[in-house]
Structure 1
Amino acid sequence: MKKRLFGDSGINVSDVGLGCWQLGGDCWGNIDDQRAYEILSTAIDNGINFLDTADVYGNGQSELLIGNFLKGCSEEIFVATKLGRGEMWPDNYNETTVRMAIEASLKRLGVECLDLIQLHCIPGKVLRQGDVFDWLNKLRNEGKIKRFGASVESVEEALVCLEQENLSSLQIIFNIFRQKPINELFPKVKKKNVAIIVRLPLASGLLTGKMRKNQSFPPNDHRYFNRDGQYFNVGETFAGLPFEIGVELADELLEYVPKEMTMSQMALRWILDHDVVSTVIPGASQPSQVSTNALASDLSNLSSDMHQKFSTFYQQRVVKHIRGSY
């Protein structure tokens, strides 16, 4: 597993991390505690040292599982969590609610100071007002958090955050189906030396190349209940593509897959070829998925010709279908 510097922190993190949304058990179907611990153990065994979670994943369940797991883990693990959804959404943002959320995450994770707290796709108007960053700076000075960042829905929101003092990271949706950040965000991020965390690298599973149009999902899977943005931003589900169209586009990409890679690994490798990316955080509902995804770290870069093909494919076939904030 290769490692990269996390922005200007001086800390090296695995370039393939683990997204822990699935461990909450409320948006990706059921995952029991035993399988959750197996997923976490497999991640550590494969050299992953970066875990991304949030206070709302399973209403705290994901953080609790990680906290319990870390008690018996001898490796040094960087845990990123988030606040700002749940009871704060959409207009209950103040220093008290932010402080309470951080205290609750500290307790669930069993630590005295958070490695990284991220604003969790909070309203753009709250980001632009800027008070929330003042509160985070205060909590940083108090030693409650080591650093803070923001998980955002759009390039516009990312650029607002990028102007904030002491911002450590930005978490964005970025994959073969969502290429806008390459030209509109990445050059500015490099100048600021801010870490980039990439979520939804496989577009909710579309970029595994295994989904069919008649695919069924359990009722507690966001790919069932948020397919058209009924509960939160549609971009968080299938990268904002209508499901049937997404399946068709993914099938077209199968011919691009190198012989030595799976389609998932190709999609992850494409992301890692952008050196501005600090870590990519595919989730997993099975331990085997963690192992397969981790292998992308050691694969060779895709050719410049391949990158050009993906760029053309995105412009000609994908961009017109994207819905939601972007």
Structure 2
Amino acid sequence: MIKINEISNIGIGTYRMEDTPEYYKTLKYAIDSGINIIDSASNYNFGNSEKLIGQTITSDIREKVFIISKVGYIQGNDIKLVKEIDNLSLIEFSENFYYSLDPKFISFQLKQSLKRLNTEYIDCYLLHNPEYYFNKGYNKEQIKDIIFASFSLLEREVEKGKIRFYGISCNDFNKIPIIEILESIENFPAFKFVQFPFNIVENNLSDYNVESCNLTIKKLKEYGLFTLSNRPLNTVYQGKTLRLTDMPSQDIESINQKEEMLFDSFQNTIKESLVQLGEDTDLENYYPIFFFVENRKNIANVEAIDKAIYEYLLPFLDALNLRNAETTKLITELRNYWIIYTQWSNQERLNILKQDMIKEHKMSATDKRDFSHILADYYLNKEGVDCVLMGLRKTDYVDKVKSLLL
């Protein structure tokens, strides 16, 4: 089994991965390249992320890979199953999302994860965002009791050999009693890991104010904890989502000309349909299409583009009886242009951030490495993170960072 000090300093986060041949190939390639830690959670792609790992990490290489999973979220088919557990304490955020760190739920979910992961044990099991209790009005004393009860259960699972270590994955340490937890660490010998978002913008753990105590990466490590950072290449900057990686260069003026001609044609098709229906042809009065008139060149990411298309545009076309092969083709072509706008805007804002980093001496103006490589190097060597978890969904993503592996 891999010892903690043998864990690679770059790991794979599988939030967007599921059991497909492409991701199977990527995981195998990453392991062959020297990456030996894989991070997942019971809710990632409704368990399909864990299934991918279970299919990839065969028995002959199991002890060469450190597997992390998490517990807390209740989604999909698990909602119905957990409601059958007697006296289970859980909190409801919506009809499709429940949350619990009740020891009875942890025991239930651990069995499910072990089955999906196709393994006898999980190397590290994390409580997944316990700050959800704070968001539902629990005070820190109540949250401390919940976490310590969870830790006691996890210590017993360590004794059974179902997990080796455990810890906490948290997006905001100010919302949980982290100081009390750290001060009680001697009572929980297998509590060894802590995970948190950390990137060049979200870098509070360089100087994190928790109850007047500066919680730093260095302090966490002084308590004997292994630090895992996530979201290294995704953040919010200038009020919008920013992908911290370089985008393909584009001739934006040429793209503009082609997109505007196509979009004008699309609007004319809609206006013709409105005329036939005897309706007002002023598109400002129809939000589903006017949204794109106003915003199509400024949408933050591909996910937001697709959401707007499926929630606004397509239902609008259905109402006009305009969903056909011709308009579907038009939308597909327009979507490709809108993605280019998103990439171009991302790169423009990223270039501003890079200039700020150069001024702050966080990177050199002459450094020509891929930006994801520069950032991972910075997190590891300047900030002291033990392991940076990255969404290495393609083999060439692995190639960009594997020179950093110890």
- Provide the TM-score with structure 1 as the length reference: 0.72
Matched residue, 1:63: 50
User: Does residue 1:100 correspond to 2:118, yes or no?
Assistant: no
Matched residue, 1:111: 119
Matched residue, 1:131: 149
User: Does residue 1:162 correspond to 2:193, yes or no?
Assistant: no
User: Does residue 1:49 correspond to 2:134, yes or no?
Assistant: no
Among 361, 365, 374, which residue is 1:266 paired with?
374
Quote how far apart the aligned CAs of 1:190 are.
Answer: 2.4
- In structure 2, distance between residues paired with 1:220 and 1:80: 32
Letter in 2 for 1:141: E
CA root-mean-square deviation: 3.3
Report sequence identity in percent: 23
The one-character-per-residue Cα deviations of 1:218-261 (angstroms, maximum 9, x if unpaired) are 47989x99xxxxxxxxxxxxxxxxx9997665221334454341
* TM alignment of 1:1-326, pairs within 5 A: 10-24=4-18, 33-71=20-58, 74=61, 76-86=64-74, 87=79, 90=98, 92-122=100-130, 123=132, 124=134, 125=138, 127-129=143-145, 130-156=148-174, 157=176, 158-159=178-179, 161-163=181-183, 164=185, 165-166=188-189, 167-183=191-207, 184-203=215-234, 206-210=243-247, 213-214=298-299, 216-218=301-303, 249-255=349-355, 256=358, 258-274=366-382, 276-297=384-405
| Larger gyration radius, structure 1 or structure 2 | 2
Matched residue, 1:321: none
- In structure 2, distance between residues paired with 1:95 and 1:177: 35
- In structure 2, distance between residues paired with 1:60 and 1:263: 31
- In structure 2, distance between residues paired with 1:134 and 1:258: 51
Tell whether the 8 Å contact from 1:155 to 1:185 is kept in structure 2 after alignment. Answer: no
Alpha-carbon spacing, 1:92–1:51, altered in 2? closer, same or farther (3 Å): closer
- Provide the TM-score with structure 2 as the length reference: 0.58
Tell whether the 8 Å contact from 2:12 to 2:389 is kept in structure 1 after alignment. Answer: yes
Alpha-carbon spacing, 1:248–1:155, altered in 2? closer, same or farther (3 Å): farther
Partner of 2:392: helix, strand, or coil?
A: coil
Partner of 1:71: helix, strand, or coil?
A: coil
Alpha-carbon spacing, 1:221–1:40, altered in 2? closer, same or farther (3 Å): farther
- In structure 2, distance between residues paired with 1:19 and 1:261: 22
More helix as a share of residues: 2
Matched residue, 2:278: none
Letter in 2 for 1:187: K
Unaligned runs of 5+ in 1: 1-5, 25-31, 226-242, 299-326
Letter in 2 for 1:19: G
Tell whether the 8 Å contact from 1:83 to 1:117 is kept in structure 2 after alignment. Answer: yes
Alpha-carbon spacing, 1:169–1:246, altered in 2? closer, same or farther (3 Å): farther
Return 157-166 or 259-268, whichever deviates more: 157-166
Letter in 1 for 2:112: A
Tell whether the 8 Å contact from 2:247 to 2:344 is kept in structure 1 after alignment. Answer: no
Letter in 2 for 1:45: D
Tell whether the 8 Å contact from 2:35 to 2:405 is kept in structure 1 after alignment. Answer: no
Partner of 1:168: helix, strand, or coil?
A: strand
Quote how far apart the aligned CAs of 1:272 are.
Answer: 0.6
Tell whether the 8 Å contact from 1:15 to 1:279 is kept in structure 2 after alignment. Answer: yes
- In structure 1, distance between residues paired with 2:305 and 2:347: 21
Tell whether the 8 Å contact from 1:174 to 1:198 is kept in structure 2 after alignment. Answer: yes
Aligned residue pair count: 267
Alpha-carbon spacing, 1:72–1:134, altered in 2? closer, same or farther (3 Å): closer
